[in-house]
Amino acid sequence: MLKPEILDPQGNAVAAALPRLGFTFAKSVRQGKRFEIEIDGQPTPAQLAEVEKAAEVLLSNPVIENYVVRVEN
Amino acid sequence: MRVGVVTFPGTLDDRDAARAVRAAGGEAISLWHGDADLKSVDAVILPGGFSYGDYLRAGAISRFAPVMDLIIEKAKEGMPVLGICNGFQVLCESHLLPGALTRNSDLHFLCRDQKISIENISTPWTNTFTKGQEIVIPLKNGEGSFQCNDETLTQLENNGEIIARYVGQNPNGSRNLIAGITNTKGNVVGLMPHPEHAISALTGPTADGLGFFTSILSAMVK
């Protein structure tokens, strides 16, 4: 996700489109990105650490984005 | 005077950048993204385009190209590097320059002749301009909005690291109208608009852009 202080024109465009369709619930919208990474079996702590590293080095740009790594079955 | 011009898959403006180097009196050396060899160049230009298709984020994958390892190393030692447009994005992703380039605030791809003012004339890429000089060169990008946190912005302002600003209305939402910045050492410069497309009146809106290329030659001769 873009950090809160970084301008998000895509999120703003979505926020402007929602009320045009009758959806009036949104105070604001931020748009982000999600990567689904498949591995064999349950991740080991070492594998999770590798994923964290990849998230920081390649998948996100820590200058403007935050990321969260989550394990799902 | 050998100026390397890097070609990544998806680079568009390498030929114009090489032509600009030659027009300024330098020798343009083609560098391929996959080569771990800088061919003894004295300076490097990362031209515009859509390297690696801008997949993931603009410049994010190019940063890990073999040629970039060498460029990052040499840049840290002081070799002059100029990143134009996509090249600027690559330099930010490489952390050679602070901040990042994000989607234009109106979400449109912009292509137009843009007036900018040159704010810092002490870099090897801007030394033939005069401070505050206004020039017109093409601006053409979809992700040209310079963003950074307040601390970085203050640092850029206080250290004179903003080398060029847009004149008039902000075209893309860049903080403080930033069109180009340099690093603390002053050898690495990133610029969103395209000087290489404005080196002669026949093919560009002006010949104003040539100054960036004559600058690097004069910096090297000194």
For A5-26, the pLDDT digits (tens) are 898 999 999 999 999 999 999 9
Rounded-to-integer distance, Cα A56 and Cα B186, Å: 27
pTM of the complete model: 0.93
- For residue B100, name the pLDDT band (cuts at 50, 70, 90): very high
pLDDT above 90 for B2: yes
Q: How many CB atoms lie within 10 A of CB B64?
A: 14
CATH of the domain at B40: 3.40.50.880
Residues of B in contact with A61 (CB under 8 A): 57, 60, 93, 100
pLDDT above 90 for B177: yes
Taking only the tens place, the pLDDT of each residue in B133-145 is 999 999 999 999 9
Instruction: Region of B153 please: left (phi>0), alpha (psi -120 to 50) or beta.
Output: alpha
pLDDT above 80 for B112: yes
Q: Which of A58, A59, A65 to mutate to test the interface with B (most CBs of B within 10 A)?
A: A58
Q: Which residues of B9-26 are buried (b: 16+ CB within 10 A; e: fewer)?
A: ebbbbbebbbbbbebbeb
**Residue given tokens 């320059």 in the structure block:** B97
Contact B100 A2 (CB under 8 A): no
H-type alpha helices, B26-85: 66-77
pLDDT above 90 for B221: no
Residues 3-42 of B with CB under 8 A from A: none
Res B169: pLDDT: 96
Partner residue opposite B103 with nearest CB, options A3, A10, A59: A10
Percent of residues, chain B, with pLDDT higher than 70? 100
Partner residue opposite A7 with nearest CB, options B60, B61, B105: B105
ipTM: 0.82
Going from the C-alpha of B220 to that of each of A60, B82, B131, B161, B192, the distances in angstroms are 37, 14, 20, 21, 24
**Interchain CB contact of A4 with B (< 8 Å):** no
Q: How many domains does chain B have?
A: 1
Q: Which of A10, A64, A67 to mutate to test the interface with B (most CBs of B within 10 A)?
A: A64
Helix (H, G, I), strand (E, B) or coil at B175: helix
- For residue A61, name the pLDDT band (cuts at 50, 70, 90): very high
Q: What is the mean pLDDT of residues B14-43?
A: 97
Rounded to a whole number of angstroms, the distance from the CA of A66 to the nearest CA of chain B is 13
Q: What is the DSSP string of B10-39?
A: TB-SHHHHHHHHHHTT-EEEEEETT-S--T
Q: What is the mean pLDDT of residues B190-214?
A: 97
Print the domain residue range for B12. 2-221
